[in-house]
Structure 1
Amino acid sequence: MVRKGSAGTGEGVPPMLRSAETLLAALHAAPSVLIIANAAGEIVYRNKAADELTRRAVGQHGEQAMLDLRNGMKRIMETATDFPLTTHIPTEVNGRKLYGGVTIDRFPGGFIFTWSDETEKVEANELVNSLVTELTRASSELAEAGRQLADAAGQSAERADAISRNSSEMAESIREIAGRVTSATTSTDTAVASARSTANSMNQLQGSSQEIGNVTKLIIAVAEQTKLLALNAQIESARAGAAGKGFAVVAAEVKELAGRSAEATQQIIGMIKAIQSESLQAVDGISGIVGLIENIAEQQTMIAAAVEEQTATSAEMSGGMHAVAESATAAARGAETVLAAAANLREQADRLRQLTT
């Protein structure tokens, strides 16, 4: 068991350490860096490990760095009041910051301390701290992006669903319109057929009127001949005297009847001409109506084709909106994954920070 001795006495000190030479040899062979300075802060002793570390530091950083380190130690020894004290002494050489890690304690008449080159460790800690800061910032930005993505995906899904419903309703309305247009087209076709049939009937009526006109002309000719015959009969009855009086009365009646027949036939001819004129006008009007109906039928056919195309487009749009909604749902799931990754990244940054403190 190693026992501590009383300061200034040899009480409790193993015999092998009572010799100054033996104690100095032990200090010199110690694997840790040991340096002793007097009360003024001047270095009076360095062990072997301290000499080796100093040579390496001079080789890596130069003598100016060691001089700055020594001056920093001296300032600590002059100003510090609480011991033992552990701190870093910073310096800068060729634009690079260097750090010496120092632990100092006081004893009667001087100071004993150890030091180490903490530059790489401090730089590593600064790099880790910077990395932790960047990771924390990245995780926050990633989390915010994930939340925004989730919100946007949710809104996109709702809008796509609404558009899909509206597209379905529009497609149903278009189908109803298409049905009505088809029905109107059928009715128009029927109207065209009826108008054409009426026009044909009017043409036939025109032909019949012409035939009736021919017959009336023949009747007029017969009536004229009858009048001539009645006139001749009257002349012959006058020659016959009293014996021809009865025949003269008959001839006068025949003549009067032939005159009335001629007048009636003329009236019929006038009526037939009026019918023919009106028939021609009716045929022209019906032909114009047929043309208009055919034009309407053609436009309805075009409308029906456009409605069918719009129906197909609405169906495609509805399907596209379903796909958009599914994509938005997938994006929402991706946003959840992003949020989980951000939380994991923040957790790793916290662990890394804990490891470096």
Structure 2
Amino acid sequence: MTSRTTRNGEPRSPGLFDVFTNRRIGTKVAIGFVLVQVLMVVLAVLNYSSFEHVRQAFVALDQRVQVVGIVRDVDRGFTAFRRFVREYSLTGDEALISEAESRQNALRQSIAQGLKEIHDPSRLAKMREISQAFDAYTTSFADVFRMRRDQSKLIREVLDPTGQQARLKLEQLQAAITANDGGETTSLLVAEAVKQLLLLRLDVNKVLGRHDQAAADAAEKALADLKTAMSALKTAIGSSAGRKQIGEIEVDIKNYANAYQKASRVAHEIEVLVNGTMPKAATAIAGDAANIKQSGIADQQKIAKDTEALLGDTKSQILIITAGVLVVGMLLAWLIGRAISRPIVQMSGAMKELAGGNLNVEVVGSGRLDEIGLMACTVEVFKNNALEVIRLREEQEEAERRSAAQHKAEMQQLADEFEGAVGEIIQTVTSASTELEASAGTLTTTADRSQELATSVAAASEQASANVQSVASATEEMASSISEISRQVQTSARIAGEAVDQARKTNDRIGHLADAANRIGDVVELINTIAGQTNLLALNATIEAARAGDAGRGFAVVAQEVKALAEQTAKATGEISQQISGMQAATQDSVGAIREIGGTIERMSEIASTIASAVEEQGAATQEISRNVQQAAQGTQQVSSNICDVQRGATETGSASSQVLAAAQSLSRDSNRLKDEVTRFVETVRAA
């Protein structure tokens, strides 16, 4: 049949439910399981896609963190490298070169790593600008290094020896004038020249050592005064030997001045590089590094926000699809169970009525195209055969009444044969009906079990989905990284504490240095006082020698030397006093700076302790993530077990369907035999 009929016998068009109803039982069960499996596959694909997006987000986040770390290392390393460069440019200490070169090589490696790891075009362009600015900075540093060495060589080989030589020659000239009684005026001119030479050398050292503009002006003045004194001295000395000696001194002074001018120009070029060209490159590097760090941090925040939104959307989708799987599974279980169990129960009742002799019962499902429809058709044939048997039996009785007694024995024999054949067939049909009823019960039980298992699978899937959400934000590497960070933070706190102790010790030592400087100042003051008294004694001795006349001339010469020595001592002690005052001021500044450094290190130690506490909290969060992963694994195992039970239920359903089909086939064969026997019986009756 291709269509069903109504109770009035009118044909009815097949609907959507009829299309599903007319499918084989195995097909119905397969459709249900396939739909559930399709939804499970959709859920799995969604989970895989979401986790893949999360993995990609973590990879991108790790790349941004690595880029920010590289740029931070470049920024910090360049700050340290710049400090060594400035110290070398100011002090010329060769010991700083090796450390500066080490910092330079490390920076070059960090910049190369940044160029390799950075993929964003804008950040890559900034990193290339950093590389170019760093190359320009290192080139300038090489120029500073070369010029500083040339300057040191000029000072060591020309400036200092020439100045020392000029001073010695002036002192020798002064001694010769004093020995030859060249006159007080000439001696004073020589002393003035010595004084101006010493002032010139002192100011030159200040200019080259401190880059002091006031000292440069003072040096120019001292040089002019020295040249004036030498011109006056050349005029005052009449001897050719003295003029020759003064000419040699003037040559030395000229060489000294030329060397000073050259060294000053080199110092100016170094200052232009250090304070002009190199700071521009440093500013560019710092600005580009800050831009890259800010861009990387902004990307980190955006990735974290997008990942959080993705996880939220995935959670909602998983909940919706899981609910859909649950609803569809329950609906399919109800439809399949209803499509199988209800007609079987109705057919079992009809078969019981037929077995009880009620041949007016309606056999439902005869219009179906599945196994139940075949069973209904078979039962309908059985019913029609039973009705035909009754009709034939009535005709037989009527024929017996008409045939009289002569056919009684023959008809009785035929009736016995017919009763035996029909009884066997009826027994077979009854047995087949019993088997059909048992198979129908098995199918009903299997359908109920399939519904329970589908519900359990949906619940286990929901639990696995909920637990897997916690896995997205944690990895085993995070736990090891947090442990390493905690250890490094503790080490940083310990080093910061040691640095605080060292700063305190350094502060105490500089305090002792300040005390020693004060004591040196007292000693210098004492020397200055003694020089003043010596000067007074020399003045008194000169007066007494003048009073003594020729007898005191030799004593007057000695007194004049003592006076000159006292004046030089007073000048030297004055300069020493100025140096000590500068040293005391620098010492006080160092004390304040070291105290600030100690305070800063103490704050760094507190920050390190705070970071250590935060790292411990992250460790606890990592343990929570591990527990959630274990729960997710248990949920997954439950899903696997339930799916196995569903497969076994499907197998039982298939077996029951096979039994129903076999019973239906047996019932069909017996119905054919019944039809043959009835036909033979009718033919025999007709022949009689």
With structure 2 as the length reference, what TM-score do the two structures score?
A: 0.30
The match for 1:142 among 437, 445, 452 is 452
1:302-329 deviations in Å (ceiling 9; x for gaps): 1122212322331342134224423442
CA distance in structure 2 between the partners assigned to 1:313 and 1:243 by the alignment: 104
Does 1:203 pair with 2:511?
Answer: yes
Does 1:295 pair with 2:603?
Answer: yes
- 5+ residue gaps, structure 2: 1-356, 363-385, 399-439, 661-666, 668-688
Q: In the TM superposition, what is the alpha-carbon distance from 1:88 to its structure 2 partner? A: 3.3
1:119-268 matches, within 5 Å, as: 138-149=448-459, 159=468, 163=471, 166-268=474-576
Q: In the TM superposition, what is the alpha-carbon distance from 1:220 to its structure 2 partner? A: 1.2
Q: In the TM superposition, what is the alpha-carbon distance from 1:138 to its structure 2 partner? A: 4.0
Q: In the TM superposition, what is the alpha-carbon distance from 1:291 to its structure 2 partner? A: 1.6
Indicate the residue corresponding to 2:625 in structure 1.
Answer: 317
Indicate the residue corresponding to 2:361 in structure 1.
Answer: 88
CA distance in structure 2 between the partners assigned to 1:312 and 1:256 by the alignment: 83
Q: In the TM superposition, what is the alpha-carbon distance from 1:143 to its structure 2 partner? A: 3.8
Indicate the residue corresponding to 1:307 in structure 2.
Answer: 615
Conservation of the 8 A alpha-carbon contact between 2:461 and 2:636? no
Amino acid at match of 1:87: N
1:31-78 deviations in Å (ceiling 9; x for gaps): xxxxxxxxxxxxxxxxxxxxxxxxxxxxxxxxxxxxxxxxxxxxxxxx
CA distance in structure 1 between the partners assigned to 2:594 and 2:645 by the alignment: 75
CA distance in structure 2 between the partners assigned to 1:133 and 1:320 by the alignment: 40
CA distance in structure 1 between the partners assigned to 2:358 and 2:528 by the alignment: 154
SS at match of 1:86: coil
SS at match of 1:87: coil
Q: What is the total number of aligned residue pairs between the two structures?
A: 245
Q: In the TM superposition, what is the alpha-carbon distance from 1:270 to its structure 2 partner? A: 0.4
**Could you say if the C-alpha distance between residues 338 and 141 of structure 1 is closer, same or farther in structure 2, counting changes exceeding 3 Å?**
same
Q: In the TM superposition, what is the alpha-carbon distance from 1:254 to its structure 2 partner? A: 1.3
**Could you say if the C-alpha distance between residues 85 and 225 of structure 1 is closer, same or farther in structure 2, counting changes exceeding 3 Å?**
closer
Higher helix share: 2
Conservation of the 8 A alpha-carbon contact between 2:457 and 2:639? no
Indicate the residue corresponding to 1:280 in structure 2.
Answer: 588
Q: In the TM superposition, what is the alpha-carbon distance from 1:132 to its structure 2 partner? A: 9.4
Indicate the residue corresponding to 2:249 in structure 1.
Answer: none
Conservation of the 8 A alpha-carbon contact between 1:226 and 1:258? yes
**Could you say if the C-alpha distance between residues 133 and 319 of structure 1 is closer, same or farther in structure 2, counting changes exceeding 3 Å?**
closer
Amino acid at match of 1:227: N
Q: In the TM superposition, what is the alpha-carbon distance from 1:176 to its structure 2 partner? A: 1.8
**Could you say if the C-alpha distance between residues 164 and 171 of structure 1 is closer, same or farther in structure 2, counting changes exceeding 3 Å?**
farther
CA distance in structure 1 between the partners assigned to 2:612 and 2:460 by the alignment: 43
Query: Which 10-residue stretch deviates more, 328-337 or 195-204?
Result: 328-337
SS at match of 2:538: helix
**Could you say if the C-alpha distance between residues 253 and 233 of structure 1 is closer, same or farther in structure 2, counting changes exceeding 3 Å?**
same
Q: In the TM superposition, what is the alpha-carbon distance from 1:253 to its structure 2 partner? A: 1.4
Q: Tell which has more relative contact order, 1 or 2 (C-alpha 8 A, sep 6+).
A: 1
CA distance in structure 1 between the partners assigned to 2:596 and 2:568 by the alignment: 42
Q: In the TM superposition, what is the alpha-carbon distance from 1:269 to its structure 2 partner? A: 0.7
CA distance in structure 1 between the partners assigned to 2:655 and 2:455 by the alignment: 18
Higher strand share: 1
Q: In the TM superposition, what is the alpha-carbon distance from 1:188 to its structure 2 partner? A: 2.7
CA distance in structure 2 between the partners assigned to 1:145 and 1:346 by the alignment: 21
CA distance in structure 2 between the partners assigned to 1:350 and 1:197 by the alignment: 97
Indicate the residue corresponding to 1:26 in structure 2.
Answer: none
CA distance in structure 1 between the partners assigned to 2:452 and 2:655 by the alignment: 13
Conservation of the 8 A alpha-carbon contact between 2:507 and 2:595? yes
Amino acid at match of 2:608: Q
Does 1:329 pair with 2:602?
Answer: no
1:277-297 deviations in Å (ceiling 9; x for gaps): 111222222222222222112
With structure 1 as the length reference, what TM-score do the two structures score?
A: 0.54
SS at match of 2:361: strand
Amino acid at match of 2:360: T
CA distance in structure 2 between the partners assigned to 1:136 and 1:154 by the alignment: 26
Indicate the residue corresponding to 1:127 in structure 2.
Answer: none
Q: In the TM superposition, what is the alpha-carbon distance from 1:228 to its structure 2 partner? A: 1.4
Q: In the TM superposition, what is the alpha-carbon distance from 1:171 to its structure 2 partner? A: 0.3
CA distance in structure 1 between the partners assigned to 2:358 and 2:580 by the alignment: 140
- 5+ residue gaps, structure 1: 1-83, 90-101, 109-129
Q: Which has the larger radius of gyration?
A: 1
| Identical residues among aligned pairs (%) | 33
Conservation of the 8 A alpha-carbon contact between 1:149 and 1:335? no
Q: In the TM superposition, what is the alpha-carbon distance from 1:238 to its structure 2 partner? A: 2.0
**Could you say if the C-alpha distance between residues 85 and 145 of structure 1 is closer, same or farther in structure 2, counting changes exceeding 3 Å?**
closer
**Could you say if the C-alpha distance between residues 238 and 154 of structure 1 is closer, same or farther in structure 2, counting changes exceeding 3 Å?**
closer
1:238-297 deviations in Å (ceiling 9; x for gaps): 222222222222112111111111111110110011111111222222222222222112
CA distance in structure 2 between the partners assigned to 1:351 and 1:148 by the alignment: 31
Conservation of the 8 A alpha-carbon contact between 2:504 and 2:598? yes
Please tell me the root mean square deviation across aligned C-alpha atoms, in Å: 4.6
Amino acid at match of 2:576: I
CA distance in structure 2 between the partners assigned to 1:304 and 1:296 by the alignment: 12
CA distance in structure 2 between the partners assigned to 1:194 and 1:85 by the alignment: 113
CA distance in structure 1 between the partners assigned to 2:656 and 2:510 by the alignment: 98
Q: In the TM superposition, what is the alpha-carbon distance from 1:332 to its structure 2 partner? A: 4.0
CA distance in structure 2 between the partners assigned to 1:332 and 1:156 by the alignment: 17
